Amino acid sequence: MKKIRVLHKIFSKPISCLATYSPSIANILDGKIDLILVGDSLGSTLYGMKNTQGVTMEMMKNHGAAVNKEIKKSLKVLDMPYKTYDNKIDAYKNAKILLNHCKADLLKIEISERKLVILKHLADKKINVISHIGVTPQSYKNFNQIKVLGKTNKEKQNLLKLAKESENLGAKAVLLECITADTAKLITENISIPTIGIGASIYCDGQVLVFDDLINLSTNDKKPKFVKNFFNFNKIASNVVRKYNREVKLKKFPGTKFTYN
């Protein structure tokens, strides 16, 4: 495992991160971005789940190991799935399983006030942890119920407190999901470890997106506001498939160039 110091001392800010679940994509990403995350968002992205609560240890182990074999330069981050870190014993046992099987550099866990004791336990055991606060998807059965946080002063202060406590307890970074810009700015200015945002404005020290969203691979029209398509792979791929179908129908493929003699 690469030695983790403070992330912003390893990378110049802003820190770039993308989530992916396939080794072929990881091979493309490696060395071009700072962090590669195997996220439990694979539940909805790959398996058609309505939420991330159905993602299992086996899924994370299999995708994590496959992806991480292709990563030589970027840091490797892995999500701990739902209900695998509800107490200290399970959290440490499952963290060790994922780290040993997938050779990840950091684990990411979703943090509430109740889960701070878990964060401290893992950090005390020398496990590199990213604290995920704000909207924590594992808390939702229905993603349509997700709302932006940090709009009230109480929410701002609660999130700031969680971020500060995460830092004090040993987190290497804090991921901020779906919070208001002024809340992200407040947190980033008041902690020394990096903030990585998803739907949390430019006031974070880094950004993360799911690779499938980056290239518009998904056909889901109800994408979150924070998703930007940098490339329309869906459109390009559809045209390629039509071309392949046409050549098969016309018996243009395979020609002699693609035939064994």
- Which residues are marked as active site? 177
HEC readout, 19-88: ECCCHHHHHHHECCECEEEECCCHHHHCCCCCCCCCCCHHHHHHHHHHHHCCCCCCEEEEECCCCCCCCH
- What is the spatial distance between Cα 22 and Cα 32, in angstroms, rounded to a whole number? 16
Q: Is 88 left (phi over 0), alpha (psi -120 to 50) or beta?
A: alpha
Q: How far apart are CA 195 and CA 39, in angstroms?
A: 17
Residue 239 region by backbone torsions, left for phi larger than 0, else alpha for psi between -120 and 50, else beta: alpha
Give which of 188, 187, 189, 207 is closest to 197, Cα–Cα.
Answer: 207
What is the C-alpha to C-alpha distance for residues 134 and 179, in angstroms, rounded to an integer?
6
Task: Answer whether 131's CB lies under 8 Å from 107's CB.
Answer: no
